[in-house]
Structure formats: structure tokens, C-alpha cells
Chains A and B, each alone.
Chain A
Amino acid sequence: MGALDLRAIRKSFGAIDVIRGVDLEVATGEFTVFVGPSGCGKSTLLRIIAGLEDQTSGDLSIAGRLMNGVPPAKRGIAMVFQSYALYPHLTVEGNMGLALKQEGVERSAIAARIARASGLLQLDPLLSRRPAELSGGQRQRVAIGRAIVREPKLFLFDEPLSNLDAALRVGTRLEIAKLHRQLGATMVYVTHDQVEAMTLADKIVVLRAGVVEQVGSPLDLYRRPANRFVAGFIGSPAMNFAEGEAAARVGAAAIGVRPEHLAVSEDGAWTGTLSHAEHLGSDTMLYVDVPGMGLMTARVGGEDDHAIGSRVGLTPRDGRIHRFDAEGRTIGG
């Protein structure tokens, strides 16, 4: 019996099937991330878990209790939204306390829970301010605080970092990871950003077109993608794919090699001309045009100085070639 249990969940809006049969179990204390391209149904799935949408069919249990048709407030969940969704007419303290007031929790208990959450998130100096007087990062911390005070069985995050700038995003990401460790809470987190997914998750659920493509730990998905879609989606820069002769030689319809698993030398298994190089300082990305295979990306350490237009040989490292059949499934896992 897990913290969250989804069985054959389906959701249709009219004739359009958005979720097409999702089964999933989330263990207590686990950090689960739903990731996928936009329109894959990940947000809809989260809204079904929250009770903001009703599933068309299937069963949903939270902490062992069947929750089909139960209103959101009675599910023992808390949700953090992308747009923060703070109540503009209430102070930070009012925002955090509202749900508890609705539940009829005693005033002294509410104050204690707000104090604990605000200490955890360093919100103490902001408690009497209104949302309009806060910066984006502060607003998101308040939104997280509002979720914490409810002491929910399940935290739901709907792309909480998307509206923050890059620096704040990293900071808030660390904060969420730290909170997860401190609270030991079960969290379900939706993002389209695979870096967030890799850094935060105990378990990643990759969705595409309303279907779960693969479930596993971040490194599982990285090492052993179940199919070509997952292989291309997880990892940055994306995996190189090649079809045709190069694939046929190893008995596959297509092969894939990650940029970091390509060795660069004068001569290699594949040779081509360097068409572009990106110098990131710590890494250098080489974009090599290989005849018959297209543009291949290779990640080389440090400050590499290959000249644009020069001949570059690429060799995949042993055991790091992913083979896919004609339907895109991985061969021989």
C-alpha cells in the first residue's frame, strides 16, 4: 500500500483521449517526477490526483483510501502552482493559514504550524506582507509554505519553477530537495525540464501522449531507456541517433549514442567534418557532420580546440551503444 496508487486511469475531453490508461504506484516518502513534452498529459494527470479534474475511468487511492470523486480539500493533499496562485487580498500569514482555518483547526495550532513552516523557509520577515509586495522567488516560497502548513499526505507541484529566472530556479530547486529530505514527505512533481527531473527525482515517470513510456530512477532511465523516445528525452544534450547501414551492422533499425560516450580522435568508427563547436568552459560540444548519418554531437572535456571544418573521428565507447528495433523499442535492454 503506497502513498499514491493509480489504476488504469483514463481521461477524455469529449472525443480526445488525454490520459490513456496510466498505472502507477508511489511509495511513501518518495519524490516522483512526471516529465514529458508539452501536451503529454502530465499536468492533467496531476490535476486528476488533486481532484481538480475527475478521471473518466480508473481508480485513484491516496494513502490507501479510495479517492474517486472526493473533493480536493478532503484528499489530504497540498498543491504548489506554476503561477504561485497566492490570495491577493490576504497577507503571507493569511495565505498560509486559510486552509487550516477552513478545516477548523484551532487558532493557536494554526499559529504554531505557520511559525514552523515560516522558519523552515525563512519567511518570518515577510509574514505581514501581501503577495503584491513580494518578489517572484519569495512568492513561490510562500506558496510552498502554504502547502507545508497543511501537513499533507501528498505534495503536488505543477511546474513550480517555470516562472522563475535561471538563478532562482537552481536555488529553489535545492530548497525543494532539502525540504523533501527534512519533511520525509511524498511529493509528486510535474515538469517539462529533464534537468529538474534528473536532479530532484527518486523516480521519474516519462509520459508521452497520455501513456507512461517508462518508470525508473534517473540513472536507470539514463543507462537503460526502454525505447527511443525516452532515450532522446532524458540526457542533455540529447542522444545521437543513426539509422541505415551503421545500425544494420549491429542488427538494429536504429542506434543511439550519448554525446558523452563518443571518443574523439583523428580517425574513428565514423568520420566527419566539424561544423560547429560550443565552448562552455567545463565542457565543449562538438557538432560533427558525418556523411550518411547526419549531425552528431560529442561532448569533450575542458577547453578543446578543434578548428571548425577540420576532420574529426568519432568512436562510441564499448557497451554504450543503444540499439532500437523498427518500432523504436530497445533491443536486449
Chain B
Amino acid sequence: MDRSRSSPLGRGLVHVALLAYTALCLAPVLLVVVNSFKSRRAIFAAPLTWPDASSFDLVGYRTVLGQGVFLNYFINSMIVTVGSIAAVLLFGAMAAFALSEYRFRLNTALGLFLALGIMVPIRLGTVSILQMMVAARLVDTHLGLILIYTAQGLPVAVFILSEFMQGVSKDLKDAGRIDGLGEYTIFFRLVLPLVRPALATVAVFTMVPIWNDLWFPLIVAPGEATRTVTLGAQSFIGQFVTNWNAVLAALTLAILPVLALYLAFSRQLIRGITAGAVK
């Protein structure tokens, strides 16, 4: 075991496997991006070639950006994603703090109950969620989607964060109590900064499925005013005619904001890790 890990051959194989996996993941994305810059004819004639002078065409982007509503779709996606991440991080961290810090009856049972959410997909409850949303008049609202995504993201968030919270020095929290800090101050000022890498990890894990989700926007918020990018891109896919230029351009544009968010969080993540190492 140890020998294979340290031998150059073993390490080389690991890198080959990782590179192969990376290529497998990136290939479809690359195909979408490359073809979004080509004319319709070139997309069908030679989908695997780079755009050249004869096939380069921005018609897809012109179509997408020409429709003023598309900017709205981006704003909707941003509101829903950022709102959900904020809620998941705040409530997830608070629940994790309570579970790891306080002794109370049914503490373990509550932790297990929350972990159950990791195992049961939230989409199984779609029908009753829709009924609840209708009853609460939250259909076609940002809030409706944010609530659903918060519920979807909380179990993993609580699970990861409570592991990290247990690692925070007990003495530090006690020192805060002796110095007269309230429990909220201890949580926000002492504990949260120390688990920042974990928060960044949770944010990244939470963000991508929300941004990419088609299911709940389609069911709970299909209205024009709350339509998200993923759902909006579908409008170019017709039953008989599909505007592939527009679809590919819309999908390419949809990558950018989530990429920006990811980079922002991953910098936090790295900063958090190095801060811990220097200690």
C-alpha cells in the first residue's frame, strides 16, 4: 500500500486516472462552448472541429442577448442561488453549532433525523411540496424556490459543519463565556471564522445543483417573471424546431456566473486552509 503510493509508477497511474476523469467531465462542456460560436450548418456538419473563419458565427449570442428577458433569467437564477446558499450556510451552521455544542434531550436523534435528508431525495416529495407552495401562495416566487433549495441543502450542510464545529476548541468558547460574550457572539465572532473553509466547501456543494436545477423551476416557478436560466434555455428547444445556436449560447453564458461564484468561494477555501496551517 505504502510502496505503491510512494512509487513514481503508482503516482503516474493515479494522475492518468484523474486526467482521464477530468477530460470525461470537461469534454461535453467544451463541446457546448465550442459549438456555441459556430453557425447552424457547421454545428451539424462538423460538431467536433474548432470554429474557423467560415464557420464562426455569433448568431446564437445575438439571439439570446437580443431577447431582453434573458438578463432577467440570469438575475432570477442569481437571486435564487445566492439566497439559498445564504440560508443554507446560516441555518446549517446554527443547527450544527447547537448539535455539537449543547447537551439536550434527543440531540443524537435530531442529528440522525437531519442526516436522513441526505439519503432521501427531495424530489420524491414534489407533489406535496407543490401542494404546500400553492397553499402558501408561493408558486412563481423566488422565495418558494429558495425555501425548497434550503431544505435540499441543509442536511449535507449540517452534517459537514457539525464535524468541523466539534473541532473548534472548547476552551475558546468557554473563554468567551467567561468574558461575557453571548452565545450568538461566540457563534458569529469566534466559531464561524474558524470553520470558514468548511463553509466554503458547503457553499460550493450547495451552489452547483441549485444553479443547474430544471425540475423545481419548471414545476414551482415556471412563470416568466421568475424563470431561471436553465429553464429559460429550454424555450429554444421546440417540439419541431430547436434553435441550437441559441441553446448552446445560453448554456455557455449560464456557466459564467456560477464559475465566478465558485472562484470566489474557492479563494475563501484556500485562504481558510492556509490560515489554519500557519497557526
Contact = CB atoms under 8 A, between A and B. Distances in A.
Interface of A: 47, 50-52, 71-74, 77-79, 81-89, 98-99, 102-103, 132, 146, 158
Nearest to A82: B171
A50 B178 CA distance: 8
16 contacts: A50-B178, A72-B178, A73-B181, A74-B180, A79-B175, A85-B172, A85-B175, A87-B176, A89-B189, A99-B178, A99-B179, A102-B181, A132-B278, A146-B175, A146-B179, A158-B171
B193 A77 contact: no
B194 A88 contact: yes
Contacts, number: 61
B174 A79 contact: yes
Nearest to A147: B178
B177 A73 contact: yes
Interface string B175-209: 11111110000000110011000000000000000
B70 to A, nearest CB: 43
Grouping DSSP codes into helix (H, G, I), strand (E, B) and loop, the B interface class, with mixed when no group exceeds half, is helix
Given A79-B174, A85-B169, 19 more contacts: A50-B178, A51-B177, A71-B177, A72-B174, A73-B177, A73-B179, A77-B178, A81-B171, A81-B174, A81-B175, A85-B171, A85-B172, A87-B175, A88-B194, A89-B189, A98-B179, A132-B278, A132-B279, A158-B171
Contacts of B177: 51-52, 71-73
Contacts of A102: 179-181
Contacts of B172: 83, 85, 87
Nearest to A103: B180
B144 to A, nearest CB: 38
A103 to B, nearest CB: 6
A121 B27 CA distance: 63
Contacts of B190: 87
Nearest to B278: A132
A131 B208 CA distance: 37
Contacts of B178: 50-52, 72-73, 77-79, 99
The residue among B178, B180, B193 with the most chain A CB atoms within 10 A of its own CB is B178
